[in-house]
Amino acid sequence: MFLSANERFFRRKEIDVRKLNYEYFWIDLKQAAQKHQFENQQRRAYNYKTGKYDGEVIKENGEKEAIKDRSSYIMKDVLNVYPDTLCWLSDFTYSYNEPMATMYFWHPAYDNYPVVGVNWKQCNAFCFWRTQLKNAFLKGQGNVFVHDYRLPTETEWEYASRGGLNHSMYPWGGYYTRNYLGCFIANFKPMRGNYTDDGGIHTVVVAHYEPNEWGLYDMAGNASEWTVSAFDESSYSFIHDLNPDYKFNAVEDDAPALKRKVVRGGSWKDVAYYLQCGTRTYEYQDSAKSFIGFRCVRTYEGRRQGQDGAGDSKIY
């Protein structure tokens, strides 16, 4: 697990992060639901390549597999989970970001800073890992509830960002990025690029600014956030009214346009437009940026009689 002698700096014994791979599984319910009969031989899977339903399952890695039983819908992926520490340098060539590249991901001074440098697939893998960790703990307590963590859909993110304030331009409800004292109330690129005017030249500690009406911090600025939704310019015209969501499991050799995922919230390097609740943009699922992070959500499953008000309807 350690770097070989010829790859070490000053003979330091360090972990070879190229070996930090995580294997995880999930069930592709979309493919499994194409036929209502339980018999697997009558089910048809959606072929992402041909755009048709046929008798083969197309796995996340692009492999084809004939439908034989329920295991055909169990998808598997293995990916490296270590953040891209060099994203600070690759994103901004003509700037002095070497300290961020060498210290941001391990120095205690950045313990409470938002995670960045992770791509969309790594964020999904973290959600699966966190789900298993939570369920293992609950099982040890004699609790059988399943708490699935995941990335929020685009619409879930916007709903949480507004914090119950309908038609609000920003999460704090107003039309301006300053408070009544004239201070900026988010970490972004103010005015003509005076980054320090809002209190941070890059990311700052989480919860540094006031939360929205639902107690959610940094829903605008600091670090943009991945959502689980695929990006399409016209998705608002074809998604369902009751459950608006658009997903696409792009494989390695798909066109770049099919790998676009919705990013929300704006970041420390963005102008105020991208901080608005309704502004949407995208990034490619295999790209790691120094200004994009993520947060997990859990689906609200209702409350049993007598349960306290904590519930599961939280975005973390």
pLDDT (tens digit, 9 = 90+) per residue, 193-221?
888 898 889 999 999 999 999 999 999 99
Would you place residue 224 in the very low, low, confident or very high pLDDT band (cuts 50, 70, 90)? very high
Residues 150 and 268 in one domain: yes
Q: Are strands 224-230 and 292-293 parallel, antiparallel or unpaired?
A: parallel
Task: Report the DSSP pairing between strands 281-284 and 260-264.
Answer: antiparallel
Strands 297-298 and 292-293 turn out to be unpaired
Query: What pLDDT score was predicted for residue 303?
Result: 63
Residue 189 in this model has a pLDDT that exceeds 60:
yes
Q: Which domain holds residue 174?
A: 115-298
Distance in angstroms (rounded) separating the CA atoms of residues 111 and 103:
11
Phi, psi of 254, rounded to the nearest 5 degrees: -70, 160
Does any domain span residue 306?
no
One domain for residues 63 and 209: no
Q: What is the DSSP letter of 42?
A: G
State residue 22's pLDDT score.
95
Q: What's the confidence (pLDDT) of residue 37?
A: 41
Q: How many domains does the chain have?
A: 2
Comparing C-alpha atoms, which of 133, 165, 159, 158 is closest to residue 146?
133
Q: CATH number of the domain that 259 lies in?
A: 3.90.1580.10
> Is 284 a domain residue?
yes
Task: Give domain status of residue 149, yes or no.
Answer: yes
269 plus 178 within the same structural domain: yes
pLDDT grade, residue 12 (50/70/90)?
Answer: confident
* Chain segment 284-296, per-residue pLDDT in tens: 999 999 999 999 9
Nearest 5°: the CA angle 109, 19, 111 is 10
